[in-house]
Amino acid sequence: MKYFKKLLTSAALLAMSSLTVQADEFRLGLITPPPHIWTKAAEAFGAELAEASDGAHSLSVFPARQLGNEAEMLQQLQTGALDMAFMTVAEVSNRAPELGAFYAPYLANDIGHAGRILRSDSAKSMLEPLPGQVGVVGLGYGMAGLRQIVSRGDVSSAADLAGKKLRITPFAPILDFYNAVGAAPTPMPLPSVYDALANGQVDAIDMDAELIWVLKYYDHADTIVQSDHMMFPMVGLVSAKVWAGMSEDDRAMISDLMTKHVDSTIDSYVAKEAGWLEQIAGTGKTYTKVDASFFGNAIDEWNAIWSQKTSSLDALRATAADTE
């Protein structure tokens, strides 16, 4: 009996101590590969969190979908199985359609303008419903580059995309856009894209300059269309369950540091995007730069669909006008 009592006490102590340790050893998941700007920002956030908390908190970063795809990570955040994520707003917009307003084609004139829109109060206010709606706390925005089109075969007009299997990130606003263009949008998560274009499973991809250049998505393509047609925001998330269990001091520290590091990605893309595009243009592939007129009526069609799906479009357009 005495033995069992002792065993129970040690088991209870072990459970308690592992609970305490778990609370301070945060895990952050994301789908981007290790060299990607988002992954580097997540690692810098972890280093600064350890330093600011005098080693009380540590953060393990799991890049490249190690914890699952974004839909799976969002579920883990909801249950508290995952503490934090840097996630595409695209994925969150599947649960919070208001966020779809960010994908209005040509809402941003250029990458700097996209950053100013994301740093606005109206953009920040769109994160407020997330705890109740999705079970996550959205602390701040980051972003990736503007979206471009990379294709096997020639693309001199949008008509050349008709019926083409065109890889998209899996979320509704971009699906509606390419349906309006007349392509055959093919939802596919990031890690499958290189092989899919290489083996002809898709004819074209919707992608940003960093990934086209750094992950060499141009390798198996003939044409790059620099269309800059959409911005691509990211959001720093904490599980609402985990957040509820944190002290006020910890929340303030995590909020400040996570916001700082997701926001730093905006500066990185503003600084680097033009250079990547120049290098892509120098690869010898056919490189064309187009504007909204390339897409014909597709943009009006998108606007008609999404003015029904989100009430945030007008506010974001007003912000876009104010921040031009």
Catalog residues that contact ligand BEZ under the rule CB under 6 A: 31-32, 88, 144, 169, 190, 207-208, 211
Answer for the pair 244, 181: CB distance below 8 angstroms, yes or no.
no
Q: How far is the CB of 190 from ligand BEZ (least distance, A)?
A: 4
Minimum CB distance to ligand BEZ smaller for 155 or for 207: 207
Q: How far is the CB of 182 from ligand BEZ (least distance, A)?
A: 21
Q: How far is the CB of 32 from ligand BEZ (least distance, A)?
A: 5
Distance CA 302, CA 149 (A): 18
| Amino acid in the structure at residue 95 | R
Minimum CB distance to ligand BEZ smaller for 219 or for 300: 219
Minimum CB distance to ligand BEZ smaller for 82 or for 193: 193
**Structure tokens, 66:** 């190690």
- The residue nearest ligand BEZ at its CB is 169
Minimum CB distance to ligand BEZ smaller for 144 or for 202: 144
Minimum CB distance to ligand BEZ smaller for 151 or for 253: 151
Kind plus residue range of the DSSP H or E element containing 88:
strand 84-88
Answer for the pair 17, 62: CB distance below 8 angstroms, yes or no.
no
Exposure letters 80-115 (e unless 16+ CB within 10 A, then b): eebbbbbbbbbbbbbebbbbbbbbbbbbbeebebbb
Q: How far is the CB of 106 from ligand BEZ (least distance, A)?
A: 18
Q: Environment class of residue 131 by beta-carbon count within 10 Å: exposed (0-12), middle (13-18) or buried (19+)?
A: middle
Q: How far is the CB of 220 from ligand BEZ (least distance, A)?
A: 16
